[in-house]
Structure 1
Amino acid sequence: MSSIKQRPNGVWRARYRDQNGKEHSAHRKTKREAQRWLDEQTAAVVTGQWADPAAGRVSWDEWVSSWMAMQVWAPGTHSAALTAVESVPWRRRSIRDIKQADVQSWVTVERDRGLAASTIRTRLNYVQMAFRAAVDNQVIARNPALRVKTPRKQKAEMAIKILTSDQVAAALEAAGEFRLFVAVCAFAGLRLGEAAGLQAGDIDVDRGTIAVRRQVQGTSVPSTKVAPPKAGSEREVFVPRELVEMLAREARVSSDAFLFRTPRGHLYNRNNAGHEWRKVREALGLDEGITLHALRHTFASNLIASGCDVVTVQRALGHSQPSITLDVYSHLWPSAEDKTRSATATFMGEVLGIADSLRTRD
């Protein structure tokens, strides 16, 4: 129900009720202005784009605090999101007053102070999520971060460390009791936490698969805990039979026994697994930039070099979307120019071979 009525002082008051029956009103100098406002509000209610004017008065900090409390994130994700939403300059402003220009300006400032493009994109992603949730909950009508442009990645950021076959072989030889952990990262592409979370029941020798069902989080023994995989990362990885047989020999009697533990019986975490890898790296004289995660990059690069398409690589790596895979590895796939050149070279070779044969006959 809506109405427009002129008050004794000559001002026009427009009124309407939202979908919850709550009344809202506004005062305008002319009837035309009042009608325009009323039409806009009514249309927003009908199309589902309406936002409660009172709800939008909350500050950014107030909104993200309540929004983050509703999430079921892993500690690492929660920490990354908190860093992102607290890095913006509008924290104490009403969320309804934040404009697209504010968000774009923030991104530009972050770039100018030297923040990596990938870091800016990650932070913007969380900020966009917070705004999107505000729209969904009718706190604001539009997402001001929707069309914000981010800086392109520099070549240095796009470069990933990949080990050669000789380097992987040498790493396995130098790893000692850490050898199987290295093998799982190199030949199944598991993340550090996923490899640390493997249990005997995850290994299927008959099918030649490794199931990723959990991950180990934490940077120290006291902070270590077992959690579900990253969103979209639960998967089965098809691996060489030699690998599953190696793991099966390591498996304990109980299917819920963890495959990998430190000499002191602890689960591997980011610090102690990183320490073991650093010993391998130093023994081989590898660059400090080659972390344990480089084995995962090596696994992915081998899939791509073998002709696997992006969806196959995405599923093997446990990326939630193909766009994530392309964002990291797109430069490893042959370009259209490469394919054109290769195809034409093959055709040209056939033609020239036929021509040489004809000349020989003459």
Structure 2
Amino acid sequence: MGSVNERGGMLFLDFRFKGSRCREYTKLQDTKVNRSRTSKLLQKIEAEIILDTFDYGKYFPNSKLREKFDSLDERKRKSKAYFNAPDSPRFEEFARIWLTEMKIEWSKGHYEDVEGVLNKYLLPTFGNKKISAINKGQILQFRTILAKVPGRKSSFLSPSRINHIMTPLRMLLNEAAARYDFTSPWKNIKALKVGRTEVDPFNFGEVDKIINSVPEHYKAYYTTRFFTGLRTGEIDGLMWDSVNLDDKTLTVNQSLNRGEISTLKTEGSYRVISLTDRVVHALKEHQRKSYLKDEFVFTNEKRNPINYQVHSRTVWYPALEKAKLRARNPYQTRHTFATLLLASGESPEWIANQMGHTTTTMLFRVYSRYVPNLTRQDGSAFATFLNNGGQL
């Protein structure tokens, strides 16, 4: 409760506003009439303070406190605009709109990945919130919670997986901020540090064991996969018109992901791979047995395109078990190809080209411990290496 007081014969108002004590002097002498007028002014001020409509500068334009309260008002205004952008929708509503808009740009596999992240992680947490009201603290708290979520193969979600979940959230918030004119809360939030790529290749003898352990229908598939370094989508999407057995080359120009043919991720992924005699022989034998009208080089036993998840479960892992080898994911076939090339002494530049890397940087970063003294650069060393049964 404020009061009207006197100092040096002049009246002043004493009241509290936004947690601060305010003393504002008038030019009125301390008389009965002036005290009545000042008391009514104080009542009006306190009423406006209660209604949150009090404008300090309107009543005391020359006050030293005006700048302080104007600054607080501006911060409040910005905060209000931040949390209550007039037209901003709920997170779920905007996410659905954004997902529909991006569908035309993304591959089927990427679209399904993002949709899965939305449905499993983002919508249960942020779905009912107004998108402009989500703040940095909530984002960081969400990431902390993700770090405690059980993973499929480890105790908790990996940093890489958490970053994968956080990426659509960042894209959504930044896009919504641009459209609805509010400040994105995604400021100085760095991705979690991810460990080095797990390289756990097979040696030459283990490769032979695996090829001998898969069903006859898939021996050419794994011979090609191990000795070309093709990615899963690349070999599953390989068609006969991209294979030239006379020139001993294979052109990589598309990928098969979740039953849909798509372009490759980077320009460097488009490449021509040199084939060893072992791969050429396996492909010729496979071609002789395959149906001429099949477009895909490799299919399942029902002549349908290979489904990665089903194939891994029913062919790859049973073959490792039969060969009495430790379970490793199918991508290790690509790592195996790279390490065998390095062990054979091929040039890093030539290996990078075969792998679909534009530079040797990733090659040395991922496979540095497998790099010996390198001398050859044309593929002949690898062919000799294979012909000698994996011996230099």
TM-score (norm 1): 0.64
1:148 and 2:190 aligned? yes
Matches of 1:310 and 1:117, distance apart in 2:
31
Match of 1:215 in 2: 255
Which position in structure 2 is the counterpart of 1:267? 305
Q: Pick closer, same or farther for the CA change 1:167–1:96 going to 2, 3 Å.
A: same
Q: Give the C-alpha shift of residue 187 in structure 1.
A: 1.7
Quick check: 1:60–1:95 contact (8 Å CA) kept in 2? Answer: yes
Structure 2 residue 161 is the aligned partner of structure 1 residue 126: no
How far the C-alpha of 1:164 sits from its partner, in A, is 0.7
Does the C-alpha gap of structure 1 residues 118 and 292 become closer, same or farther in structure 2, counting only changes over 3 Å? Answer: same
1:277 aligns with 2:316: yes
Compared CA separation, residues 165 and 96, structure 1 to 2 (3 A): same
Q: 2:126 maps to which residue?
A: 90
Q: Deviations over 1:248-301 (max 9, x none)?
A: 5644797972111233322221245322223421221112x3232221222244
Cα distance, 1:245 vs structure 2: 5.6
In the alignment, is the contact (CA less than 8 A) between 2:199 and 2:366 conserved in 1? no
Q: Which has the larger radius of gyration?
A: 2
Q: Show the 5 A alignment for 1:232-243.
A: 232=266, 235-242=270-277, 243=279
* Residue pair 2:236, 2:298 contacting (<8 A) in 1 also: yes
* Equivalent residue, structure 1, for 2:385: none
Deviation of 1:98 after TM superposition, in Å, equals: 1.9
2:158 equivalent among 87, 95, 116: 116
| DSSP-derived class of the 1:188 partner | coil
Unaligned residue ranges in structure 1 (runs of 5+): 1-26, 42-49, 219-224, 343-362
Aligned mates of 1:101, 1:268 — CA distance in 2:
44
**SS of equivalent residue, structure 2 residue 190:** coil
For 1:196, which of 236, 254, 278 is the aligned residue? 236
In 2, the alpha carbon distance for the partners of 1:152 and 1:195 equals 28
Match of 1:293 among 307, 310, 331: 331
**Paired letter, 1:332:** Y
Q: Is the 8 A contact 2:223 2:282 kept in 1?
A: no
d(CA) in 2 for partners of 1:28 and 1:309?
71
Partner of 2:96: 65
> Structure 2: which 5+ residue stretches go unaligned?
1-53, 59-66, 150-155, 374-392
Q: Does 1:257 align with 2:295?
A: yes
Cα separation, partners in 2 of 1:90 and 1:263, compared to 1, 3 Å: closer
C-alpha distance in 1 between matches for 2:234 and 2:272: 12
Query: C-alpha separation between the residues in 1 aligned to 2:166 and 2:358?
Result: 18
Amino acid at match of 2:199: I
Give the fraction of aligned pairs with identical amino acids, expressed as a percent: 16
Q: Is the 8 A contact 1:174 1:283 kept in 2?
A: yes
- The residue aligned with 2:112 is 79
What RMSD, in angstroms, separates the aligned Cα atoms of the two structures?
A: 4.3
Matched AA of 1:190: L
Change beyond 3 A, Cα 1:320–1:332: closer
* Matched residue type, 1:228: S
Instruction: State yes or no: 1:99 paired with 2:135.
Output: yes
Q: Distance in 2 between matches of 1:184 and 1:272?
A: 19
1:201 is displaced (CA, Å) by 0.7
* Deviation (angstroms), 1:178: 0.8
SS in structure 2 opposite 1:333? helix
Matched residues in 1 for 2:351 and 2:57: separation?
A: 62
Large movers: runs of 4+ above 6 Å: 252-256, 319-323
